Structure 1
Amino acid sequence: MLKTTLSLAIALCACGVACAAPLTDAALARVVDQRLAGDRTGACFAVAVIEDAHVARTYRCADGEGALRVGADTAFEIGSVSKTMTAALLAGLIAEGRASLDDPLAAYLPDTVAVPTFEGRPILLRHIVTHTSGLPALPARMQGADPADPYAALDEAALLGSLGDVSLARAPGSRFEYSNFASMLLSYAVARRAGQPFEALLDARVFSPLGMHGAYIAQRPDGVRAATGHLPNGRATAAWTFPDAMAGVGGVRATLDDMVRYVQGQLGSGPEGEASATLAALQATQVTVSEQPPMAMHWMIVPIGGRRVLMHEGGTGGFSSLVGFDVERRRGVVVLSDTALTALGGLGSLGAHLLDPAVPVGAPRREAAPPAEVLDGLVGTWRFETGLQVEIARRGNGLTLHPQGQPVFELGYDDAGDFYPREFNALLSPRRGTDGRYGFVWLQGGAALPATRVASRSASGDAATVSAAPLADYSGTYTLLPGFALTVDAADGRLRAQATGQGAFALDPVRRDVFEAPAYGIALHFTRDAAGAVTGVDLHQGGRVVSGARD
């Protein structure tokens, strides 16, 4: 789960990977060191590149002295990559004629469970595997969970009862909204339809056929060592636990070689005989199911070098993971980290680089001195949409954060331009608006929360009196690029916008026909025709302008 910001898909140039010699272990280690060596998190990585039958492996740590912390016998929490294995179980049931992507979710749950619909349109299984179900990110009855182990106390009654707390805002299938809630329901539904406990089902249909003998959920095999997870500040943190029926959302633990065998299976190779049904199920999960954004069954379809790559990242409280592969080129990559890096951008740059060297490998985050203008620009009182108010103050050449009713926390700063609490896992990412003023987005626990200054901003006259036209005049969809549109509407007396596949954000009036979201560094300049009707928008961000007509 990811930084919330508007971004445009940029096609990456092709490279000659297919013509290059197979990667050696030593060469792979050098690449990983470019991304990891000296990183402030102290993370350790286990990385493999699969090139048909050849596999390069390496185990590296940021400090260069922690190589023994992870190894071939170490099982990592792979987080949401587990969802792709749940998809394989569903694909197997489909092949047996016991399921269909067009089946309603309700058919897989007890008759007493009320599953929400929208104007009579039900949630189908295809909506769950493409994150278009319309269900929220987490079950409502999970509130108050221990953030150090958030799924441990969730039971069947709370999971299914949370469906009764949902009122769908739109038709299933109409919008991408990542939902762990929906994925927990799919895990439960698949196990229930198969008539087996989830871990036993996964072992029988995926782990054992592929030779993933170190992979598990709760029953750790002999000879396998559970890795210790870490926060980005280097501190060890507790493992996450999942109820068996819901473990398909993110509960799998696996060694590097287990995940190598999983990727080899995705590329069509594996043990003969009993693995044939598993290989067919894996292949079935790779078929495109949704186009907005492009998704297979729980696989993100990513264009890299003009090629079709399937990829998924995962993250738990102390781990991050990435699996990606190019079936046509028969090349895959596995990156496992014993440190939670989701809020820091995850493992995407390294994974994409190992699939195509034309993609920048990324760089380690190192401690740095923050610019004085950024420090001064962030000092003040801020409020999140959740209602939480925080005070940011200057302390020497740094900042402190004081959430209302909580202790004061010191913030560090790294050369990627972000602040971070030294005591817990979160990130404060500054954003500079078009007017030069600073705001920020707070990233924690998979959520990205823009902050708004409590003190009223000094108005320039124009900002004090915006257009007399009603906000509804701006509502509509503006296509900026093929497959990428901005939807604008009004809520609670404010204008808001949402880009394809991303979360909605509020807009502040600046002057007639100009609105901005300072926390994201975004400004929208609406255009009108001679009759005064709004006909288009210019999106300003990071020095770039993208224009779109109103549909």
Structure 2
Amino acid sequence: MSPNRPRTVSSLVAPLLAAALAVPAGACAASPSAATGGDALRTTVEKRLLGDRTGACFAVAVIDGTGDGDFDVRRTFACADGSTAPRIGPASAFEIGSVTKTMTAALLAGLIEAGQADLDDPLAGYLPGDVRVPTFEGQPVRLRHLVTHTSGLPALPPGVEMSDPTDPYAAITADDLLAALGRSTLAQAPGERFEYSNFASMLLSYAIARRAGEDLETLLDTRVFTPLGMGGAYINDRPQGIEEAAGHLPSGKVTPAWRFRTDLAGVGGVRATLDDMVAYVRGQLGAAPEPLAAAIGLTQQPLSTPSAQPIAMNWMLAPLDGRTVHAHEGGTGGFSSFVAFDRERRRGVIVLSDTAMTTLGGLGSLGQHLLDARLPLGAPRKATAAPPTLIEALVGDWQLQGGPAMTLRRNGDALEIQATGQPAFAMGYDSAGDFYPLAFDALLSPQKGADGSYRFVWHQGGGVLAARRIDANADAAPTLTAEALEAYAGEYPLDPTDLVLSVRVQGDALFAQATGQGAFPLTPVKDDVFEAAAYGIEIRFRRGDDGAVDGLTLLQGGQTLRGVRR
């Protein structure tokens, strides 16, 4: 990997919601709609956006059910530069990325309602007979595993070259996808682990079109778009009067659109206007006609898997004040999106951006705040000067896990980076505390360890790579067998929270999973110490007098949580 080329191009985008919708302790009981009435919606959006270093433009809508069964909809269009004539408008079609997956789920649910499919059907039954579909100890990949991201298939089709990072999916054909499936293996039983997979979603898209006997764009148009009144939504056949919004990198540079072969586009290929997405969310809140209403209702039902990931059919689930919020984020090379709704309160939120925000954390903070004003809004990332002490703490030679070596050095009052064999690149610094290359889309996030030293995580092209300082005198990280890892497996209630951290061995690696959240891998760094560097987590296991592990300490973001093994 070179620093000006993504390590992966998988962003469509993976979900950000875990326990993210927990109202902060001590939050005031402000009316959830206090920040979104009338002109207040634009004011709220501008608080998040004005002055943002990306120059992004947002299209935003908040939908509330009314007493007469109708909906009140508030909309606004705003740009970081405060322009009164933004470059986007009602006729602008945005790439919605992975929010498309929820529409694909509606198509599958329609087949199920019509008796043409079942969630427990093996995927193999929807593909050509000569296609090899991997199994694990005789357990097949089923449709339910595809819509819960627990299939065990990798994030991207193995062995398929994505030669153009500016339009990575355009060249992939169904034959490429099926050949990649034949090369795939499963490390655990389907359903066991939540691993977000665009590969699995492309397979589902193809399987649905094949079973229905129509191309995916026709299916979406006739079964979702037209019934809901989404007249500007499309995959490749742009409706008259609809303008294709230009996508942008976080640097502000225009970047090419992403294209998909029609029957594979259920992974993230839909474009839609703000009003199209308003119609879509209204449908999710109960305004869809039959038979689509029944299919939408089915997609919203929680699905239980051994992974314990809170999920419905391609909808991520999160608790909020005793209710359940359905949400999904999306991201392509030049766009980001966020869609969420609270069915019980009959409120929905849509945020569409003509700039890729995935590396910067997505649109979740704004979207969640609009869903409930007690949740933090977030702030614009403004360019600022980096603290000299932070620059000095990062200067040196580093190794990216699964990537190249990289040198960080001071250049005047700023930081610059240089990967092995590559030119040096100047770095900016923003008010969120992150460094970013001025020439391309990536992010360097410093992390302060419990001992006061710094490390960093490198974000690029959907990949998150932990960096470790190259030190010839440092002890090598231990290599542990599966048997040795079993010593750490167990349940650890984390004081002073209500969370329980489950630690278990999968294959030859250790994984941890907090209550109601996804599992994440732990990497050994020294005796009884593991880390999940991408999340800024360090776990130190404690041993009792008998030498057995009896507890742990979890360090993250300045917080210290302790757990006794039960």
TM-score of the pair, normalised by structure 2: 0.89
CA distance 1:362–1:19, change in 2 (3 Å): closer
Amino acid at match of 2:389: E
The secondary structure found in structure 1 opposite 2:552 is strand
CA contact (8 A) 2:169 2:259 kept: yes
Return the match for 1:209 from 215, 227, 232: 227
Q: What's the counterpart of residue 257 of structure 1?
A: 275
Worse-superposed segment, 448-457 or 170-179? 448-457
Aligned length: 538
Match of residue 7 from structure 2: none
**Equivalent in 280, 300, 303 of residue 286 of structure 1:** 300
2:159 partner SS: helix
Please give the alpha-carbon distance, in whole angstroms, between the structure 2 residues aligned to 1:5 and 1:56.
25
Match of residue 115, structure 1, among 133, 140, 143? 133
Question: Which residue of the other structure, out of 184, 200, 213, is the alignment partner of 2:202?
Answer: 184
In the alignment, which of 512, 515, 524 is matched to residue 507 of structure 1?
524
TM-aligned CA deviation for residue 530 of structure 1: 3.2
Q: Which amino acid aligns with 1:507?
A: P
Instruction: Say whether 1:129 aligns with 2:147.
Output: yes
The amino acid across from 1:155 in the alignment is T
CA drift at 1:526: 1.7
Counterpart Cα distance in 2 of 1:55 and 1:419 = 38
CA distance in 1 between partners of 2:477 and 2:318 (Å): 43
Tell me, in whole angstroms, the C-alpha distance in 2 between the residues paired with 1:388 and 1:464. 18
Provide the rounded CA distance (Å) in 1 between the counterparts of 2:209 and 2:170.
18
Render the CA deviation track for 1:438-460: whole Å, top value 9, x for unaligned: 1111111111110122223557x
Quote the Cα distance in structure 1 between the aligned partners of 2:354 and 2:309: 30
Per-residue deviation at 1:24?
A: 3.7
- When residues 330 and 91 of structure 1 are mapped into structure 2, their CA distance, relative to the original with a 3 A threshold, is same
- Partners of 2:115 and 2:62 lie apart in 1 by 35
Q: 2:465 is aligned with what amino acid?
A: L
1:380 aligned partner, one-letter code: G
Distance 1:466 1:197 in 2: 49
Letter aligned with residue 297 of structure 2: Q
Higher mean Cα deviation, 357-366 or 429-438? 429-438
Secondary structure at the aligned position of 1:523 is classed as strand
**Separation of aligned partners in 2, 1:176 and 1:491:** 15
Residues 1:3 and 1:77: Cα distance change in structure 2 (over 3 Å): closer
After superposition, the Cα gap between the structure-2 partners of 1:66 and 1:475, relative to the gap in structure 1 and judged at 3 Å, is farther
Mean Cα displacement is larger for which, 367-376 or 7-16? 7-16
Aligned pair partner of 1:218 in 236, 249, 274: 236
C-alpha distance in structure 2 between counterparts of 1:382 and 1:22, whole Å: 44
Q: 1:71 to 1:423 in 2, by over 3 A?
A: same
Q: Once the 2 structures are TM-superposed, how far is the Cα of residue 335 of structure 1 from its aligned partner?
A: 0.4
Matched residue of 2:417: which SS? strand
Q: CA deviation at 1:19?
A: 8.3
Q: What SS does the corresponding residue of 2:206 show, helix, strand or coil?
A: helix
Question: Which residue matches 1:453?
Answer: 469
> In 2, distance between residues paired with 1:455 and 1:83?
44
Deviation at 1:464, TM superposition (A): 10
For 1:318-333, what aligned pairs fall within 5 Å after superposition? 318-333=334-349
| Cα distance change, pair 401–289 in 1 and its aligned pair in 2 (3 A) | same
Confirm whether residue 54 of structure 1 aligns to residue 72 of structure 2: yes
Alignment-derived partner of residue 533 in structure 1:
548
Distance 1:348 1:521, change over 3 A: closer
Is contact 1:433-1:520 (8 Å) kept?
no
Structure 1 residues 189 and 66: CA distance shift in structure 2, 3 A: farther
Cα distance in structure 2, aligned partners of 1:279 and 1:454 = 57
Q: Deviations over 1:351-376 (max 9, x none)?
A: 11111000011100001111122211
2:557 is aligned to: 542
Which has the larger displacement, 21-30 or 98-107? 21-30
In structure 2, the residue matched to 1:341 is 357
Aligned in 2, Cα 1:73/1:50: closer, same or farther, shift over 3 Å?
Answer: same
* Distance in 1 separating the partners of 2:138 and 2:167: 37
Other-structure match for 2:411: 395
Map of 1:312-391 to 2, 5 A cutoff?
312-391=328-407
Displacement after TM superposition at 1:15 (Å): 7.8
| 1:438–1:518 Cα contact (<8 Å) kept | no
- Within 1, Cα distance between the matches of 2:124 and 2:449? 46
CA separation in 2, counterparts of 1:19 and 1:385? 42
Sort the Cα spacing of 1:267 and 1:60 in 2 relative to 1 into closer, same or farther, 3 A.
Answer: same
* Offset at residue 169 of structure 1 (A): 0.6
8 A contact 1:314–1:321 mirrored in 2: yes
Which residue of the partner structure matches residue 425 of structure 2?
409
**Aligned pair in 2 of structure 1 residues 448, 20: CA closer, same or farther (>3 Å)?**
closer
Displacement after TM superposition at 1:144 (Å): 3.8
2:74 is the counterpart of 1:44: no
**Structure 1: distance between partners of 2:42 and 2:500:** 37
Report the Cα distance in structure 1 between the residues aligned to 2:40 and 2:477, rounded to whole angstroms: 59
Deviation of 1:293 after TM superposition, in Å, equals 1.7
Partner amino acid, structure 2, of 1:532: G
Bigger mean CA offset, 524-533 vs 249-258: 524-533
8 Å Cα contact 1:50-1:260 kept in structure 2: yes
Residue 197 (1) aligns with residue 211 (2): no
Letter in 2 for 1:312: H
Counterpart of 1:94? 112
| Alignment partner of 1:33 is 2:46 | yes
* Separation (CA, whole Å) in 2 of partners of 1:234 and 1:30: 23
- What's 1:442 paired with? 458
Secondary structure in structure 2 of the residue aligned to 1:449: strand
The letter of the residue matching 1:393 is R
SS in 2 for 1:351: helix
The worse-fitting range, judged by mean Cα deviation, of 78-87 and 16-25 is 16-25
Match for 1:522: what amino acid? I
Q: Contact 2:16–2:329 (CA<8 Å) still a contact in 1?
A: no
CA distance in 2, matches of 1:91, 1:404: 49
Give the direction of change, closer, same or farther, for the CA distance of 1:479–1:126 in structure 2 (3 Å limit): farther
Q: Deviations over 1:377-418 (max 9, x none)?
A: 211121223241111111111111111222211111101011
List gaps (5 residues or longer) in structure 1: none
The percentage of counterpart residues that share the same residue type is 55
2:285 is equivalent to residue 267 of structure 1 = yes
Q: Secondary structure at the match of 1:452?
A: strand
CA RMSD of aligned residues (A): 2.7
The residue identity in structure 1 corresponding to 2:444 is L
Matched residue type, 1:454: I
Is the CA contact 1:59–1:67 (under 8 Å) kept in the aligned structure 2? no
